[in-house]
Structure 1
Amino acid sequence: MAMEMQKNSMYIEQNDPEGDIRKDFLDDDGRAKRTGTWVTASAHIITAVIGSGVLSLAWAIAQLGWVAGPAVLMAFSFITYYTSTLLSDCYRSPDPVTGKRNYTYMDVVRASLGGRSVQLCGLAQYGNLIGVTIGYTITASISMVAVKRSNCFHRHGHHVKCYTSNNPLMIIFACIQIVLSQIPNFHKLSWLSILAAVMSFAYSSIGIGLSIAKVIGDGPHATTLTGTTVGVDVSASEKVWRAFQAIGDVAFAYAFSTVLVEIQDTLKSSPPENKSMKRATAVGVTTTTLFYIMCGVMGYLAFGNDAPGNFLTGFGFYEPFWLIDFANACIAVHLIGAYQVFCQPIFGFVEKWCNKRWPENKFITSEHGINVPCYGVYHVNSFRLVWRTAYVIVSAVLAMIFPFFNDFVGLIGAASFWPLTVYFPVEMYIARTKIRRFSFTWVWLKILIWSCFIVSLVALVGSVQGLIQSLKTYKPFQAVQEE
């Protein structure tokens, strides 16, 4: 039985030399002992949260203004933290400490709600994860282009027009991801997440520093309580659509519930996983909110109502060029790690389903040991190699076809925030604690659900409209002019 579990688990890669796995190396579910702590979980969360979303916050605040902008940021922060604590209690069921483990978000929904909710959760979760990996491919290429752009201006002067294309850099990013995608599972990603978290702090701090320098040097740009001004910066219809899209951008900036359960599944069982996860969530959300406010506020002060969609690559100056280069390199490295955080649940889901569907297929189940210098024996699975490579290639091609950073970010955030961050966690909490219908708590939670639904709906409409406008004016696979 132990050998059968070992064969079918994506978490155990090596057999015991004697064919007998000692109990000391197994958790209560027969899988390899988990070693994660709240520190590694915090790194995963920061890697997932401080991603490309932070780059659009100055633009989002410019659309919403000084009143609504920070208020929306704080509201999403509170909602995300609250619902994440509810979700962390659902990792084990029926008891949050001693119950049976649920390895994925879908497993949690199956144990708490069941029925059609499971399919709807899977559609929302994996659709969001696919969208995020495409969005991160776009963002990484934009950052790498920005390095070439700043060097071009440094060599030839700011009056020169630089021409480049994102596509070759997307291909380079995809090649790196093809290699990293062979990391077997989430449990092997701690080192990459810690590196990516350090990079996220680095480029966010540089962006804040550059914004402060610009404010000191040029003075604050024109800002208003309501953001962009109708008749001056935008038309009335553009104001509405951009405000909706800005809400979607903020929602995307807090999107990590899609991988919360998978992150929690890396934690060791003492102290209880839900306790460690709540601590990691508090650290992760507090840290990211602090950086978000600083990036959004300082970016808005630096650029005013003309804040660019990507405040780091959109700076109107390129000196010191080496600092701009370093910041954008940090973004690229961070997104290399963040891509893996979001795509590993997709890989795990497909491989688990295929193993269950075709348990006797050697192409899917068998592994071959290869001696790797300075590493040891690495176990290669043919299906994993082919399928993960194909996924990375397809996501890169889609990124080449739709390279619209702001529109894509808003669309993903608006479509996924409500079901995965609000609806399912709250509904599972109601079901698990058996809250009486029409009680005060029940009514308050239902108001939270439907208020967030309305906000997500208007953000989705704004992002779709923005994407349509971008598609009308975009010419694919042609060089992009950078001024």
Structure 2
Amino acid sequence: MKIDEKNAPNYQQGFEVSGDFSTQASSKLLDDDGRLKRTGSVWTASAHIITAVIGSGVLALAWATAQLGWIAGPLVLFLFSFVTYYCSCLLASCYRDPVTGKRNYSYMEAVKSNLGGFQFKICGFIQYFNLAGTTIGYTIAASISMMAIKRASCFHEKGHDHRCGVSGTPFMLLFGAVQIFLSQIPDFHEISWLSFVAAVMSFTYSAIGLGLGIAKVAENGTIKGSLSGISVGEVTQTQKIWRSFQAFGAIAFAYSYSTVLIEIEDTIKAPPSEQQTMKKATLISVITTSVFYMLCGCFGYAAFGDHAPGNLLTGFGFYEPFWLVDIANIAIVVHLVGAYQVFAQPIFAFVERTAAEYFPGNKFITKEIHVPVPGHKPYKLNLFRVTWRSMFVCMTTLVAMLMPFFEDVVGILGAIGFWPLTVYFPIEMYIAQKKMPKWSAKWVSLRTLSAVCLVISVCAAAGSVAGVIKDLSVYKPFKTMH
């Protein structure tokens, strides 16, 4: 076994070690590629996936269902969950190089080993644009929840008709400051604890949103909504079409996690094979999230009908009990703190790896300073990591402050990322890896699925861009929101 001597522990410090013992000790600490052994399991992978999937997107599902109605809404939710699960299994199968068996450490590496350099570059641009966009969306969502906590207390004290204006800017700055600190966690393998906390929080606020929706339906004594969704009259015919397309994007965003699937798979120990464990984790996670999504989307629509808010817990369909709404919003903020890191870590790793390759002799980029931490192993401080990651968080925070439109932003991100990253590349890699003959039944089926999803993504992007243009026409940056 080839050992990376630069990163391997020094077994001969202060005493002699026999060759056999050294090799045996190394095999226990190092993986098949000389890196530290992975310790992930089906449960840690499931936690990472649930953290990535059950994000702020769940809060827009009642609004999305309201645009589509009782027939198309649940059907579209189910179809997106099925496509996500199926394509994720295809992607999990592409974790190792088909010829050499070498591990692919990132989504981009998987594309490069299966499809070659040109598609690798296209994939990289789309993937990292989508990941960065998602962190912006999470910054917006976290600030909206923090604003909602403040406004809920105001409504409770002064009445529901009071304006209770709040600016989101200070909350975005606070969220950004926390992310600058957490972004110094060196890599993806060291944030499992954060993912577990975030996964618990995601279940907490989803359950509260669901419970409040059920209570609202019981209070109303009737199930609101219609078979075809929001009616023409409430909106124009053109708006109905655009908003239906936008709903596709919101649902696609809610299921988005393919961008970090390979990175999650790279945390899983073997044997059994990583793809076998990852497929189990994917099944557990997609079933879990789909049940939550169906319940939250449907009960939110049943509670509010055509007037379902764009964000179920911050749109103030629910005012009381205000303390329960506050708990839900606190859970959202805590979850998004962790989810931001799940999506940002692949960007950090890519930039730092690329910089080290281009400037291997630059001490600013490569030198690590060991900072003693009482009761813990020393923290490896890297000046380039501190500087660049802090700049990235500042950039995402600034963009979020300039364009804080929750349902429009999630619609655009879902549309841009869904087809290429969730469907196209996994299908193309799987076809290439299996050397599938052209025009065979499976080849035709996979290509047809890809074409249908492309049409859906284009429609969703068009609807979401139309929504942003409409919002920008009346929005003034850094002003108090009502």
Q: What's the TM-score once normalised by structure 1's chain length? A: 0.95
| AA aligned opposite 1:82 | Y
User: Could you say which residue in structure 1 is the equivalent of 2:298?
Assistant: 297
- Aligned partner of 1:159 among 158, 161, 178: 161
Give yes or no for contact 1:220–1:304 (8 Å, CA) kept in 2: no
- Aligned partner of 1:59 among 59, 63, 81: 63
User: Could you say which residue in structure 2 is the equivalent of 1:205?
Assistant: 207
| AA aligned opposite 2:323 | W
User: Could you say which residue in structure 2 is the equivalent of 1:434?
Assistant: 435
Give yes or no for contact 2:4–2:34 (8 Å, CA) kept in 1: no
| AA aligned opposite 1:112 | N
User: Could you say which residue in structure 2 is the equivalent of 1:406?
Assistant: 407
| AA aligned opposite 1:212 | I
Q: How does 1:3-152 map to 2 (within 5 A)?
A: 5-6=6-7, 18=13, 22-94=26-98, 99-152=101-154
How far off is 1:321 after superposition?
A: 1.1
How far off is 1:2 after superposition?
A: 5.1
Deviates more, 1:217-226 or 1:116-125: 217-226
Deviates more, 1:409-418 or 1:147-156: 147-156
User: Could you say which residue in structure 1 is the equivalent of 2:17?
Assistant: none
Q: How does 1:29-428 map to 2 (within 5 A)?
A: 29-94=33-98, 99-220=101-222, 222-231=224-233, 233-428=234-429
CA distance in structure 1 between the aligned counterparts of 2:31 and 2:69, rounded to whole angstroms: 51
Deviates more, 1:196-205 or 1:440-449: 440-449
Deviation >6 Å, runs of 4+: 14-17
| AA aligned opposite 1:139 | A
CA distance in structure 2 between the aligned counterparts of 1:466 and 1:363, rounded to whole angstroms: 44
Matched residue count:
472
How far off is 1:370 after superposition?
A: 1.1
Name stretches of at least 5 consecutive residues in structure 1 with no aligned partner. Answer: 7-11
Sequence identity (%): 57
How far off is 1:116 after superposition?
A: 1.1
CA distance in structure 1 between the aligned counterparts of 2:423 and 2:391, rounded to whole angstroms: 32
Give yes or no for contact 2:142–2:175 (8 Å, CA) kept in 1: yes
Give yes or no for contact 2:111–2:429 (8 Å, CA) kept in 1: yes
User: Could you say which residue in structure 1 is the equivalent of 2:18?
Assistant: none
Give yes or no for contact 1:220–1:303 (8 Å, CA) kept in 2: no
Give RMSD over aligned pairs: 1.6
SS in 2 for 1:473: coil
Give yes or no for contact 2:3–2:33 (8 Å, CA) kept in 1: no
CA distance in structure 1 between the aligned counterparts of 2:139 and 2:182, rounded to whole angstroms: 14
How far off is 1:22 after superposition?
A: 2.7
How far off is 1:156 after superposition?
A: 2.1
Deviations, residues 195-250 of structure 1 (Å, cap 9, x unaligned):
0000000000000000111111123353110100002x111000000000000000
How far off is 1:15 after superposition?
A: 6.8
Name stretches of at least 5 consecutive residues in structure 2 with no aligned partner. Answer: 15-21
